[in-house]
Structure 1
Amino acid sequence: MKRVHITTPIFYPNAKPHLGHFYTSVLCDVQNRYSKLGKFNNTKNITKFTTGTDEHGMKIQNAALKANLDTQKFVDNLSLTFKELCSKSNIQYDRFIRTTDSDHVIEVQNLWNMCKHDIFLDDHAGWYSISDETFYPAIHVRELINGKLVPLDSAVDYSTADASRTFINTETNNNVIFFKEKNYFFDLKKYKDKLIDHIIKNPEFIQPSNYRTNLLNTLKSEQLMPLSVSRPTKRLEWAIKVPNDSSQSVYVWFDALCNYMTSIGSLNKIKDTSSTESEFLRNTTHVIGKDIMKFHCIYWPMFLMSAGLPLPKSVFVHGHWVNDGVKMSKSLGNVVDPLEYIEKYGSDSLRLAVLSHSNLTEDNNFSDSYVSESRNTVLVNKLCNLISRSSKKFNPKPAVEFWQPIFKENQGRITEDLYESFDGHFKDSETIKIALKDIEYNVNWLVNHYETSMEKFEYQKVIGCLINLLNSGNSLFQNAEPWTIKDTNLLKQRDLVLFLSLEVARIFCVYASPIVPEITSNVLKALEVPESETLDISFGKLGAGSVYSKQSKKGVSLLTRVNDEE
């Protein structure tokens, strides 16, 4: 029995959720659902999936002030919008953590005390981005003059710069302000070589590999300066106070990253290597956007090293989304609101759309047509219609009863004599045989590669195979034309077509259940597949499981098309 912990980053609730929040959450939800499936190797996982909101920091403090709202009330309202996104997206988390939760405040202070041997107080002068809640070195700062970004002059004291001047950091292109203050610092360089060694020896720690390579190059080539882990309380009031020093507030990222442990349990329990909490941390998979790699792949493991705690198993990094080739921005009005698409097309359609048109290694393009195609073409036309056509004019149950034991005996193989049985009796027997081969090929691919692909978050690859499986099932049905067969000598071939068409739908639903959980559950219920066989991929073979299906003379209407003009 294995414990698996899957996390989104906790989201900053200074505005309503967008497509990026939806994407990260769905990546995690699919992984969590997959981890709970019965497997061919009979692995049984106990999973914990956590998400939430990061509610401290200067950005929140300023946004609440601008909205003329009490800060706690401000974050209370916005955290609800992220919970709504989870609810409507069918995101099944185990805990929605908020950094204002009382147990989290305690654990942040515990983590501080466990790291305090690496923390020291010193004067600090540097460029701070309120948007990013982080300081940037001067080499990454430019002044915006007459529309051009000009490097800083090392001989100039920018602490006296007029507030009307604009300075930008080149990492995120957000504004920065020069601050002089006294802060607590964490000694990053102490753990640099240890982290590099860990990344090299554990290639699964940062995935995909292109992000691991980039991070290693950064670590090896750049000097790690001490990290400011506090702000003066007079500047940052809305934060957790540093233990035994109320004049300083804990840096928002030190606070936020600790959520992954608070969600598991207390740090005292996690310290015990024999505890379930410690096992959960060792088997943690973080899923993050590429813009917060530095915090999760450098700062976070170093904090854990300092505290003497285990490192997570892996950090999966993904790219961002653009809208029809154009970067999303509020000013352009092209930010995708996932709730609008869910309202029109349903959560399964949007889940399928983003996962089938994305991969982790690069930025991804979003188009309205993806969501429409996912619902109308894939889920309605290819899946639901295949079931309806197979059970409207026929009673498919005798076909299942006859052919299922034969396929079980043959370990799910379509034998050569079955291919040949279509010769001379069907006008397009070659196309039928191609469809049979494609069905067998795609089912075998899923049996052999599904688990590895899912664990690598290669959902696009899995979805491609699943859609190919549906295509081959529909091709078989359409070209065999079972509704035209009257010759009693061909009833076995007709029943074979009905059986394989339903098997394609059933097997699709077993493997696709983590991706499109609502429609697959409804389809399997309509087919009368026993519940014990619905969330177990060991039943994802031709002929596996119990006898199922029935005739539905009115057709099976599980999902209808959506008019794109509505």
Structure 2
Amino acid sequence: MKRVHITTPIFYPNAKPHLGHFYTSILCDVQNRYYKLNKFNSVKNITKFTTGTDEHGMKIQNAALKANLDTQKFVDNLSLTFKELCSKSNIKYDRFIRTTDSDHVKEVQNLWNMCKDDIFMGDHAGWYSVSDETFYPAIHVRELINGNMVSLDSNVDYSNVDKSRTFINTETNNNVIFFQEKNYFFDLNKYKDRLIDYIIKNPDFVQPSNYKNTLLNTLKTEQLTSLSVSRPTKRLEWAIKVPNDSSQSVYVWFDALCNYLTSIGSLNKIKDPSSTESEFMRNTTHVIGKDIIKFHCIYWPMFLMSAGLPLPKCIVVHGHWVNDGVKMSKSLGNVVDPLEYIEKYGSDSLRLAVLSHSNLIEDNNFSATYVSESRNIVLVNKLCNLVSRTSKKFNPRPAVEFWQPIFKQNQGRITPELYESFDEHFKESKIIKTALKEIEYNTDWLINNYETSMEKFEYQKVLGCLMNLLNSGNSLFQNAEPWAIKDKDLFKHRDLVLFLSLEVVRIFCIYASPIVPEIASNVLKTLEVPESETLDLSFAKLGAGSAYSKQSKKGISILTRVNDED
């Protein structure tokens, strides 16, 4: 048993949630549910899963002003849309943190004081992006002239530039404005070599490795300038004030990153290595999009080093999404609203579709077809229909009661004699034996690889095996044709097919429960699998557990197809 803390970044509530928010949240929710599975002897981990909204900063301040709303009321309304996403996506967090929460405000100021030896006041002139809430060096800024991006002239003073001129940064292509002001700064260079050394000695700190390698190359080759960690309050009023200096507001990223600490408890407790709060922090996994690597993989560990606080266990980075091969944008009108798909197909269908067609390393392509197929083909036709087919014309309970103890005695193995027994009486014996081998192979793979793959966020790999297992169960049932068996001497074969078909469903649902929790739970309840055996990996093998299932002559309708034309 160990303590595990899993986090999404806190989301900026300046617009309604999109597919990217859903994806990050689902990655975390699946991981959290996985850690809650009983592994052996009913041993569970103690987990915290936190998400929330980042509610300070100039973007929020300007958006509220534009909407003619009180800023607090503005963020109150928008944070509800992210809670709604979690609710309708079946995302079970332990805390939804908001940076306007009173305990968070206190801990941000506490973190500032812990880092104050590395913070100093200085003059700051630079190009600031309101959208990104960060400054960009001049080498990453271009002026947009007649549709062309033109490099800045080092001989020109841009401090009093005409407001009608447009400048963008080359990293995100968002607009930047030149600011000249006094700010507090954090000395990044002081921790540069220490961070490089830490990443090298802890190769799993940033995952996957392609992002880690890019990060190390950046740290080794690029000069780090001191980071501005405050803004003048006269320019940024909607923010936490710097301790003992109300003329300055805390930089929104310094504020936002601290949410991971506040979600665990007080910083003073986290700093105590013997505390449970410290254990949670040391076992924290941050899941982030690749666009915010700099903030989480450079700034954040440096702030923690400065404060004398433990670093998280790892930072897992994922790519972005495109829609049918086209980058999503509001102007194109192709931004995917996850709630629309959930309303039509259900949360499990969207969860399954997204995780089946994504991996961390690459940008991923979304298609509405994926969601439809997940619902209609996988969950309805292959999973629920297999349950119905095994119980409509048969009473599968005697089959389970007969074969289950035999498989327990054989440690879940299909004996050579059982393979050979299909040769004489079944016309599709070759296909049947292939299906039997695939059932064995895929259950073995899951027993040996499921935990490692899940902890590496390799959900696509796990789902690939689960789909193969489900396909094998359907192939066995279809080709053995148990409904056509009339010879009493073959009833044991018929019962074996019924039993293994149900075992495929049962085992699939236990392993898939973190990914499609609603349908997995409903199927296992329908099969009358004891609740104590539904979320326990020790029962996820052939023949394990108690007797289950019953006949339903009217058929079982657990989930119905959705007409794509509706």
Match of 2:221 in 1: 221
Alignment-derived partner of residue 548 in structure 1 = 548
The corresponding residue for 1:423 is 423
Counterpart of 1:391 in structure 2: which amino acid? S
Q: In the alignment, what sits opposite 1:244? A: 244
Q: Aligned partners of 1:204, 1:135: CA distance in 2, in Å?
A: 29
CA contact (8 A) 2:29 2:91 kept: yes
Whichever residue aligns with residue 557 of structure 1, its letter is: S
Q: CA deviation at 1:41?
A: 8.4
Shift of 1:216: 0.3
Deviations 1:405-460 (A, max 9, x none): 01001110111000011111011100000000010001000000000000000000
2:472 pairs with 1:498: no
Q: What aligned pairs does 1:93-492 form with structure 2 within 5 A after superposition?
A: 93-492=93-492
Identity among equivalent positions (%) equals: 87
Residue 538 of structure 1: how far off its partner (Å): 1.0
Cα offsets for 1:447-494 (capped at 9, x unmatched):
000000000000000001101101000000000000000000000000
What count of residue pairs does the alignment treat as equivalent?
566
One-letter code aligned to 2:545: G
**Structure 1-normalised TM-score?**
0.99
Deviation at 1:70, TM superposition (A): 0.4
Q: For residue 78 of structure 1, what is the amino acid of its counterpart? A: L
Residue segments in structure 2 that go unaligned for 5+ positions in a row: none
Deviation at 1:316, TM superposition (A): 0.3
8 Å contact from structure 2 (residues 42, 536) kept in 1: no
**How far did residue 43 of structure 1 move?**
5.1
Which amino acid in 2 is paired with 1:257? Answer: L
Q: Which amino acid aligns with 1:554?
A: K
How far the C-alpha of 1:39 sits from its partner, in A, is: 1.6
| Amino acid aligned to 2:462 | V
Partner of residue 31, structure 1: 31
- Structure 1 residues without counterparts, runs of 5 or longer: none
Please identify, of 41-50 and 21-30, the stretch whose mean Cα deviation from structure 2 is larger: 41-50
| C-alpha distance in 1 between matches for 2:322 and 2:373 | 19
Worse overlay, 150-159 or 373-382: 150-159
Match of 2:88 in 1: 88
2:40–2:537 contact (8 Å) kept in structure 1:
yes
SS at match of 1:413: coil
Give the aligned residue type for 2:127. Answer: W
Amino acid at match of 1:215: L
3-state DSSP class of the match of 1:115? helix
Alignment of 1:50-65 (within 5 A): 50-65=50-65
Aligned residue identity for 1:65:
L
Separation in 2 of the partners of 1:553 and 1:22? 40
Q: For 1:550, what is the secondary structure of its paired residue?
A: coil
Runs of 4+ in 1 over 6 A off after TM superposition: none
Distance 2:520 2:441 in 1: 22
Question: 1:403 deviation in Å?
Answer: 0.3
- Find the aligned partners of 2:30 and 2:365 in 1 and give their Cα distance: 20
Which secondary structure does the structure 2 equivalent of 1:354 belong to? helix
Question: How many angstroms apart in 2 are the aligned matches of 1:552 and 1:202?
Answer: 55
Cα distance, 1:45 vs structure 2: 0.7
Distance in 2, Cα, partners of 1:290 & 1:21? 13
- Kindly provide the CA deviation profile for residues 331-383 of structure 1, in whole angstroms up to 9, marking residues without a partner as x: 00000000000000000000000000000001000000000000000000000
Taking the aligned partners of 1:495 and 1:44, their CA distance within structure 2 comes to 35
Report the 3-state secondary structure (helix = DSSP H, G, I; strand = E; otherwise coil) of the residue aligned with 1:235: coil
Instruction: State the AA in 2 paired with 1:315.
Output: I
Give the secondary structure class of the aligned counterpart of 1:12.
Answer: coil
> What do you get for the CA RMSD once the two structures are aligned?
0.7
Q: State the partner residue of 1:79.
A: 79
Q: Is the 8 A contact 2:18 2:338 kept in 1?
A: yes
Distance 1:231 1:403 in 2: 70
Per-residue deviation, residues 125-171 of structure 1 (Å, max 9, x unmatched): 00000000000011111111111111111111111110111111011
| Structure 2 residue identity aligned to 1:61 | Q
Task: Tell me, in whole angstroms, the C-alpha distance in 2 between the residues paired with 1:521 and 1:334.
Answer: 33
Counterpart of 1:49? 49
How far apart are the structure 1 equivalents of 2:564 and 2:293? 38
**Aligned-partner Cα distance in 1 for 2:73–2:42:** 47
Q: Deviations over 1:97-120 (max 9, x none)?
A: 000000000000000000000000
Tell whether the 8 Å contact from 2:4 to 2:280 is kept in structure 1 after alignment: yes
Contact 2:6 2:48 in 1 (8 A): yes
Q: State the 1:42 CA deviation.
A: 6.5
Residue 159 of structure 1: SS of its match in structure 2?
A: coil
Q: State the partner residue of 1:9.
A: 9
CA distance in 2: counterparts of 1:523 and 1:198, whole angstroms: 46
| C-alpha distance in 2 between matches for 1:138 and 1:343 | 46
Q: Over residues 2-55 of structure 1, what are the superposed CA-to-partner deviations in whole Å (9 max), with x where a residue is unaligned?
A: 000000000000000000000000000000000111125865310000000000
Matching residue's letter, 1:504: V
Q: What amino acid is the match of 2:304? A: L
Q: In 1, Cα distance between the equivalents of 2:424 and 2:105?
A: 75
Question: Distance in 2 between the 1:251 and 1:458 partners?
Answer: 35
Q: Which amino acid aligns with 2:503?
A: E
CA distance in 2, matches of 1:471, 1:40: 28
CA distance in 1, matches of 2:365, 2:376: 20
